[in-house]
Amino acid sequence: MSLRGLLRVPFDGLDRFCARAFPPAWNPMAQLGAIGWFLFWIVTVSGIYLYVFFDTGVAGTWRSIEAITHDQWWAGGVMRSLHRYASDAMVVMVLVHLSREWAMDRMRGNHWFAWATGVPLILFIYVCGITGYWLVWDARAQYVAVASAQLLDALPIFGEPIGRNFLDQASVSDRFFTLMVYLHIAAPLLMLLFMWIHIARHARAKVAPARGLGAVILLTLTALSLAWPALSEPPADLDRMPEAVPLDWFYLGAYPVMEKWGAAAVWLGLAGLFALLWLLPWLPPRRTPPAAKVDLGNCNGCARCFADCPFGAISLAPRSDGRSYEQEAVVHPEQCMACGICVGSCPTATPMRSAPDFVAGIELPDRLLAALRREVQAAASGLAGDDRVIVFACEHGAAADAAGGNAARIALPCVGMLPPPFMDWILSRGLADGVMLAGCAAGDCHFRLGDRWTAERIAGQRDPWLRERVPRERIGVSWAARGDRGQREADLAAFRARLPALPAMARGEKRERAPARPFARRAWPKPLQWGAWAGVFGALAFGTGALASWPDLRLLQPDEAVISLSLRHAAHTRVECQPLTPEELMKLKPNMRRQVGCPRQRWPVYVELLRDGFVLYQGQHQPAGLWNDGPSTVLERIVVPAGRQALTVRLRDSGREQGFDHERRIEADLAPAQNFVIEFRGGQWSLRP
Amino acid sequence: MEPALIEWREDFRIGLPEVDQEHRELIDAINRLHRELVVGASIGRVTGALGDIHAAISSHFALEEKDMQALHYAEFEAHKREHERLLDEILDIIDDVTASGSYDPQVLSSRLADWFTGHFRTFDARLHRWLAARH
Ligand code: HEM
Ligand code: SF4
Ligand code: SF4
Ligand SMILES: [Fe+2]
Ligand SMILES: [Fe+2]
């Protein structure tokens, strides 16, 4: 079984569960993206509220957030918690949404666009979340700052290590903090732009969840906020290292990985993950069925296909063939998913036409209507009795092949592809006693709008209307998710059972123009549904609240301290300046001739730190710069037992083989959790505090 | 030669070139069928031709409706409902011919002519007047 096949198993189960527990309009699985938009707005509104009371200077920020949290716990406190928990919920939503789109294989071929524009959204979410935890400037923020700097400094991008901004309390500046505030505001704006691009190819993208579902989400988050308010840690103090910090595992989960396996492991893991995500749509097996094709001879530019295409793949263009029409339909093949929904909308798509190989204004090259008509005729000739059913089934919902007996199944990419005149024709010509449409779960069409358009065409609310004279009891519309075969089988059985009892179809008889008669939904009894609601949202709330600050990440044991070793120092040049020989002088360009040559290359800096005679740290650091002519940089944090200790720190910055150029012995008495800074500066070792 | 069943008249014109062109083509199609009816064409040929007319009328109505909506035609709803009723009717005509296995050319022809010109004279004419009054 493929990875995707495996991924499908839990989603099939979830879909079945949701079908039993939620009314179709409230099915969260069918509107994960819309839930994401809703959460985004919750985060935005609560963020704006917080910003009003937020002190953007590093000195006042912690206090201002304490005031918001406690002095107005009923407003600012709730807003703060909503801000945190809705952001966490967004991570959950993205994870489920992404896995589900993967499981449904909605990223291949022309679906790549939403996928590829979704991947950067993950990045933006994380920039928002990490900078957000930074802004509180408590002990957790301190850890986030120090650890983020360590992560970034592992990349060969920044000349000067960012970590030096967080070496100790004296190094902290407003400048860096302000940068974080800007990032925390700019990232969501960019994210909004990308969210919009993400759905730019979706006609009528669902960007708001059903109202009731939205209310339940907001209420759940509010309840969580009141029960388990978001709180700060003690204020940041870079002269100490917090023993442990509560982590938000949704946003900060990579940091423990770094603590355990190092920054390189994190970057490699992330690079691999993102490369995989990006490549996924293009990995084999590739499936790109040919795009819909317009036949100008049959198209008068009526715009129905244009109105119905769920992927904005059709536009109307000025007439190109000299006929007197103003417009014609044009398919953009790179955007077409080959769902066939446009075929179902075209008024020329009727099986009453006389030509054996008629073509409609728009058709799928892989599923021509003339062939479909022959297939229906062949299938009908194999049926007999008074409960003959022709089932049109899509490939994405629950299987309908359990039909058996007196039912014939005909596959379509989407039930929305079936032009309503086909239903009329089958029933009025007596090819079958009933026509069944078997699609995906209601509101969760693989091709987004096929279920909706089908239902509306039958109900006479959307062109092309199913003719009034077609008896609706003989049209069965079954919506069932892939994993929900029970519903499908029940629908089929109910449909076939009711057919023989229906009055014979009288010609010319007029009826109500009405929707197809719905099948009973196999939902659980109401109390069980309520229980499922409470269970699902309770569990989600509990999980979100818990993982937002638990378990702690332990940084130090109770009796440990930290030594921060920092230097930025240019070693001696490898070759001293020397007078040039006349031959050497002649080789230089005339304007470059000097009497003395000064090669710029420097020696590496070798550093050692010893504690009571044992080596705690040693390292050779190459000079920076293209010509190895810059300073060498060291920034190390070393955990040591607290207490009295004899330290020796020394470095070599010349070509000598033995001994050291700068050495210092230190008698230190380190308090638990102290951050003891040893820095090489201006040619000598200095200690802080 | 048999005279045409429906003669094109200037007042069938409503003032939208693409719609008027289709009106002409539809009249031609019905006249062609009429000439076949009077010489006793087979049932299959007749229902086939009616099916083609059904398809052509369906897309004609779709186009006319698109134009009416684009122009914000005041009586769009009523006109659209009439289109839908006419589409029901032609299918009933086809079913009658199919079911009885025979047809009376005179009756069928006049039924078609009424069905067709009736709409011209009423709903499409009203659209014509409305369009003319706009200028
Ligand atoms: C903030 C995060 C995100 C939001 C708010 C979001 C929102 C949405 C929305 C509203 C839709 C359209 C639903 C519809 O109307 O049919 C959608 C579709 C989709 N999204 Fe996302 N999304 C997010 C992240 C992602 C990510 C990270 C990925 C994958 C890497 C992704 C992949 C997709 C795919 C493949 C589709 C379906 C495209 C199709 O039907 O062709 N999304 N998303
Ligand atoms: S097949 Fe589907 S995606 Fe392609 S043009 Fe038709 S409606 Fe649009
Ligand atoms: S629905 Fe058919 S006739 Fe109308 S614009 Fe599209 S292809 Fe042309
Ligand atoms: Fe007309
Ligand atoms: Fe009309």
- Give dist(CA A478, CA A514) in Å, integer: 16
Residue A403 confidence (pLDDT): 60
Q: Is residue B102 part of a domain?
A: yes
Lowest mean pLDDT among A268-282, A670-684, B1-15: B1-15
Confidence of residue A587 (pLDDT cuts 50, 70, 90): confident
**B67-86 average pLDDT score:** 96
Lowest mean pLDDT among A113-117, A397-401, B92-96: A397-401
pLDDT at B77 > cutoff 90: yes
Picking from B64, B88, B89, B93 by the largest number of A CB atoms within 10 A of its own CB, the best residue to mutate is: B88
Q: Is the CB of A309 under 6 A from ligand 2?
A: yes
Residue B108 confidence (pLDDT): 94
Confidence of residue A591 (pLDDT cuts 50, 70, 90): confident
Q: Is the CB of A341 under 6 A from ligand 2?
A: yes
A633 and A160 in contact (C-beta within 8 Å)?
yes
Q: State which of A37, A38, A101, A280 you would mutate to test the pocket of ligand 1, scoring each by most atoms of that ligand within 8 A of its C-beta.
A: A101
Q: Domains, chain A, ranges and CATH?
A: 32-282 (1.20.810.10), 293-498 (3.30.70.20), 560-688 (2.60.40)
Dump pLDDT digits (tens) for A607-631. 999 999 999 999 999 998 888 888 9
**A234-239 average pLDDT score:** 96
pLDDT at B133 > cutoff 60: yes
Domains: count for chain B: 1
Secondary structure of A224-255 in the HEC alphabet?
HHHHCCCCCCCECCCCECCCEEECCHHHHCHH
pLDDT at A412 > cutoff 90: yes
Dump pLDDT digits (tens) for A626-654. 888 889 999 999 999 999 999 999 999 99
pLDDT at A402 > cutoff 60: no
**A172-181 average pLDDT score:** 92
Q: Is the CB of A96 under 6 A from ligand 1?
A: no
A32 and A535 in contact (C-beta within 8 Å)?
no
Residue A145: closest CA among A257, A48, A58: A58
Q: Do B99 and A507 touch (CB under 8 A)?
A: yes
Q: State which of A38, A108, A110, A115 you would mutate to test the pocket of ligand 1, scoring each by most atoms of that ligand within 8 A of its C-beta.
A: A115
Lowest mean pLDDT among A370-379, A411-420, A584-593, A646-655: A584-593
Q: Is residue B87 part of a domain?
A: yes
Confidence of residue A187 (pLDDT cuts 50, 70, 90): very high
Q: Do A301 and B63 touch (CB under 8 A)?
A: yes
A11 and A25 in contact (C-beta within 8 Å)?
no
Q: Do B52 and A353 touch (CB under 8 A)?
A: yes
**A175-179 average pLDDT score:** 92
Dump pLDDT digits (tens) for A3-23. 889 999 999 999 999 999 999
- Give dist(CA A352, CA A376) in Å, integer: 13
Q: Is residue B79 part of a domain?
A: yes
Q: Is residue B72 part of a domain?
A: yes
Q: Is residue B6 part of a domain?
A: no
CB within 8 Å of A615: residues ≥ 6 apart = A608, A609
- Give dist(CA A628, CA A461) in Å, integer: 75
Dump pLDDT digits (tens) for A127-165. 999 999 999 999 999 999 999 999 999 998 887 889 999
Determine what percent of chain A is predicted with pLDDT higher than 70.
Answer: 99
Q: Is the CB of A300 under 6 A from ligand 3?
A: yes
Closest residue by CA, ligand 3 atom 5: A301
A539 and A89 in contact (C-beta within 8 Å)?
no
Residue B69: closest CA among B24, B132, B16: B16
Look up the domain containing B121 and give its range: 16-133
Q: Peptide bond preceding A623: is omega within 30 degrees of 0, i.e. cis?
A: no
Residue B51: closest CA among A355, A374, A343: A355
**B67-93 average pLDDT score:** 95
- Give dist(CA A433, CA A408) in Å, integer: 12
Residue A75 confidence (pLDDT): 97
Dump pLDDT digits (tens) for A23-54. 999 999 999 999 999 999 999 999 999 999 99
**A455-469 average pLDDT score:** 96
Dump pLDDT digits (tens) for A62-99. 999 999 999 999 999 999 999 999 999 999 999 999 99
The phi, psi pair for A663, rounded to 5°, reads -140, 145
Q: Is residue B21 part of a domain?
A: yes
pLDDT at A237 > cutoff 60: yes
Q: Is residue B76 part of a domain?
A: yes
Q: Peptide bond preceding A525: is omega within 30 degrees of 0, i.e. cis?
A: no
Instruction: For chain A, report the end-to-end CA distance as a whole number of angstroms.
Output: 61
- Which residue reads 């703060």 in tokens? A80
Lowest mean pLDDT among A149-153, A244-248, A514-518: A514-518
| Average pLDDT score, chain A | 94
* Per-window interface: A 404-463 vs B, CB < 8 A: 421, 424, 428-429, 460, 463
Distance from CA of B1 to the nearest CA of A (A): 26
CB within 8 Å of A465: residues ≥ 6 apart = A420, A457, A513, B84
Residue A508 confidence (pLDDT): 64
Find the chain B residues whose C-beta atoms sit closer than 8 A to any C-beta of A: 17-18, 21-22, 45, 47-52, 54-55, 58-63, 65-66, 84-85, 87-88, 91-92, 94-96, 98-99
In the reported structure, the alpha carbon of residue A683 is separated from the centroid of ligand 5 by a whole-number distance in angstroms of 94
Q: Is residue B3 part of a domain?
A: no
Question: What is the complex's ipTM, to 2 decimals?
Answer: 0.97
> Helix or strand or coil: residue A272?
helix
* Per-window interface: A 76-115 vs B, CB < 8 A: none
**A167-174 average pLDDT score:** 91
**A272-301 average pLDDT score:** 92
How do beta strands A293-294 and A362-363 pair? antiparallel
Cβ count near B132 (within 10 Å): 10
Dump pLDDT digits (tens) for A313-326. 999 999 999 999 99
Give the up-direction half-sphere exposure of residue A178: CA atoms within 13 A in the CB hemisphere: 4
CATH number at residue B44: 1.20.120.50
